């Protein structure tokens, strides 16, 4: 591991801190999707205009062209400043943009990367289908070539932010139904194209952020194919390696702040015997453990960033951090729930900490379930024998 902060890095940190102190929005993000879109794009635009969007993205497409260490410093300062969660800009900034940087042609990069950075568009991800989640290579949404277009028919599900998205990273089958990973193609789909229908699905908290998306004779120009026809599996693996390897760095760093907030909550919350929650041995033990685990997670994140200095695409080791983070975030939010609800006198089950806990349950499913992450770690990191199947999301 080689992660040393240089004089430039330290100056960069000071500048970032000062800028964030002056610009972080004071109001929380709204729940309603259309309002969230405006809030997220507005904040993204503010960061871009301040020179803080796409720290490690190439300069020619509007980024700063700085190192991944400076990107990490930005995330750290962002979290300590209490800046809003990236929300609906997540796909564009954290995996569609990085996939385009690695796999798209110059025209595609020049068209899309500046739009993402400038906060002009929202992206969503159309990979999962009702019968193709973990086993992504079995997806059935068909795309047939007709002249210089693809004609898409099929159905995607759990497509986060699709009701407010402008573009989609869409994975379709251009080969035969039996071709599995050899017959897939990754395309940039315009979400306003005729034939697309979006049916919102409320989550466990009653909030709509994902949807089912159907495609009925949707025409996608061939120039929107990223990579080559039939070679979409490789592009999709780049997307998933970013989604599992680096997309959650900011969230991992933010988790430490959440734990400190819970420490304060436990200091303020009274139990029925008059003592504070933090004086309860079990609560204190769980808080201390969460803090230690968050430090371990931070060390793993630093190691991954150090590795990213030499390898742009995260390797299968990203699944170790992803798995550890997603299970830890659930333990932390369960602790918050227990402190807030367990000691409350009115038994209020609907406060923000209860909501955070319910939200956290999805973390071990989205982007590949915890079982799939374990399979990847077992097979691709530890070299254990493969399961009887070909590949998984």
Ligand X SMILES: Cc1cc2nc3c(=O)[nH]c(=O)nc-3n(C[C@H](O)[C@H](O)[C@H](O)COP(=O)(O)OP(=O)(O)OC[C@H]3O[C@@H](n4cnc5c(N)ncnc54)[C@H](O)[C@@H]3O)c2cc1C
Say whether residue 198 binds ligand X (CB under 6 A).
no
**Choices 103-111, 188-196, 297-305, 360-368 (CB under 6 A): range interacting with ligand X:** 360-368
Of 53, 375, 376, 377, the one binding ligand X by CB under 6 A: 375
**Choices 227-235, 250-258, 272-280, 370-378 (CB under 6 A): range interacting with ligand X:** 370-378
**Cα 93 to Cα 199: distance, rounded to the nearest angstrom:** 24
Long-range contacts of 63-67 (CB under 8 A, 24+ apart): 63/113, 63/117, 66/12, 67/309
**Cα 85 to Cα 203: distance, rounded to the nearest angstrom:** 18
Specify whether the backbone of 339 is left (phi greater than 0), alpha (psi in -120 to 50) or beta: alpha
Say whether residue 378 binds ligand X (CB under 6 A).
no
Say whether residue 372 binds ligand X (CB under 6 A).
yes
Nearest residue to 218 (alpha-carbon basis) of 187, 186, 191, 196:
196
**Cα 246 to Cα 241: distance, rounded to the nearest angstrom:** 8
**Cβ–Cβ under 8 Å, residues 299 and 256:** no
Q: Which of 68, 377 has the CB closer to ligand X?
A: 377
Token output for 336: 């918050």
Task: Give how far the C-alpha of residue 136 lies from the chain's centroid of Cα atoms, to the nearest Å.
Answer: 18
Say whether residue 158 binds ligand X (CB under 6 A).
yes
**Closest residue by beta carbon to ligand X:** 133
Say whether residue 99 binds ligand X (CB under 6 A).
no
What stretch of H or E contains 149?
strand 149-156
Say whether residue 133 binds ligand X (CB under 6 A).
yes
CB of 364 to ligand X, least distance (A): 8
Identify the bridge partners of residue 132 per DSSP, sorted by sequence position: 129
Of 8, 42, 371, 391, the one binding ligand X by CB under 6 A: 371
Handedness of CA 89, 93, 99, 100 (dihedral sign): positive
Say whether residue 167 binds ligand X (CB under 6 A).
no
Nearest residue to 220 (alpha-carbon basis) of 180, 183, 191:
191
Say whether residue 87 binds ligand X (CB under 6 A).
no
Of 125, 185, 239, 326, the one binding ligand X by CB under 6 A: 125
Residue whose token pair is 């068909």 = 142
Catalytic residue among 129, 169, 243, 254: 243
Of 1, 382, 387, 391, the one binding ligand X by CB under 6 A: 387
Q: Which of 16, 96 has the CB closer to ligand X?
A: 96
Site residues for ligand X, 30-59, by CB under 6 A, read none
Residue 54 CB neighbours (<10 A): 26
CB of 134 to ligand X, least distance (A): 3
Say whether residue 159 binds ligand X (CB under 6 A).
yes
Residue 243 appears among annotated catalytic residues: yes
Say whether residue 362 binds ligand X (CB under 6 A).
yes
**Cα 333 to Cα 177: distance, rounded to the nearest angstrom:** 42
Q: Which of 16, 157 has the CB closer to ligand X?
A: 157
Angle 257-119-12 from CA coordinates, rounded to 5°: 50
Say whether residue 248 binds ligand X (CB under 6 A).
no
Of 210, 215, 242, 248, the one binding ligand X by CB under 6 A: 210
Task: Give how far the C-alpha of residue 323 lies from the chain's centroid of Cα atoms, to the nearest Å.
Answer: 13
Residues contributing to the site for ligand X (CB under 6 A): 124-128, 133-134, 158-160, 210, 362, 365-369, 371-372, 375, 387, 389, 392-393
Active site residues: 243
């Amino acid at each position: 591991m080689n992660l040393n902060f240089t004089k430039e890095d330290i100056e960069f940190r000071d500048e970032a801190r000062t800028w964030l102190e002056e610009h972080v929005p004071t109001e929380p993000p709204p729940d309603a999707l259309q309002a969230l879109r405006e809030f997220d794009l507005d904040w993204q635009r503010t960061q871009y205009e301040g020179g803080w969007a796409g720290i490690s993205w190439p300069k020619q497409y509007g980024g700063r062209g700085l190192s991944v260490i400076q990107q990490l410093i930005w995330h750290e300062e962002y979290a300590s400043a209490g800046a809003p969660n990236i929300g609906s800009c997540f796909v564009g900034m954290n995996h569609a943009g990085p996939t385009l940087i690695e796999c798209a042609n110059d025209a595609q990069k020049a068209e899309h990367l500046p739009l993402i950075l400038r906060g002009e568009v929202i992206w969503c991800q159309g990979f999962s289908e009702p019968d193709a989640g973990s086993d992504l290579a079995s997806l059935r949404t068909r795309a047939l070539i007709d002249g210089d277009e693809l004609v898409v028919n099929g159905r995607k599900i759990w497509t986060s932010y699709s009701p407010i998205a402008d573009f989609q990273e869409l994975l379709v089958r251009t080969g035969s139904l039996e071709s599995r990973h050899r017959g897939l193609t990754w395309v940039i789909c315009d979400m306003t194209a005729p034939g697309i229908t979006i049916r919102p699905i409320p989550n466990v908290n009653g909030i709509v952020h994902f949807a089912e998306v159907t495609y009925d004779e949707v025409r996608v120009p061939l120039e929107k194919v990223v990579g080559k026809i039939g070679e979409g599996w490789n592009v999709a693996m780049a997307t998933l390696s970013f989604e599992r390897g680096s997309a959650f760095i900011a969230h991992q760093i933010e988790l430490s702040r959440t734990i400190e907030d819970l420490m304060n909550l436990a200091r303020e919350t009274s139990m029925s015997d008059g003592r504070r929650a933090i004086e309860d041995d079990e609560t204190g033990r769980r808080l201390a453990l969460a803090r230690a685990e968050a430090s371990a997670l931070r060390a793993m994140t630093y190691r991954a960033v150090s590795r990213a200095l030499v390898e742009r695409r995260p390797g299968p080791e990203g699944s170790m951090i992803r798995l550890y983070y997603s299970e830890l975030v659930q333990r932390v939010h369960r602790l918050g729930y227990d402190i807030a609800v367990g000691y409350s006198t009115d038994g209020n089950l609907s406060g923000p900490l209860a909501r955070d806990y319910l939200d956290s349950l999805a973390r071990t499913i989205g982007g590949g379930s915890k079982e799939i992450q374990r399979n990847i770690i077992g097979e691709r990191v530890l070299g254990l024998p493969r399961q009887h199947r070909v590949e998984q999301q």
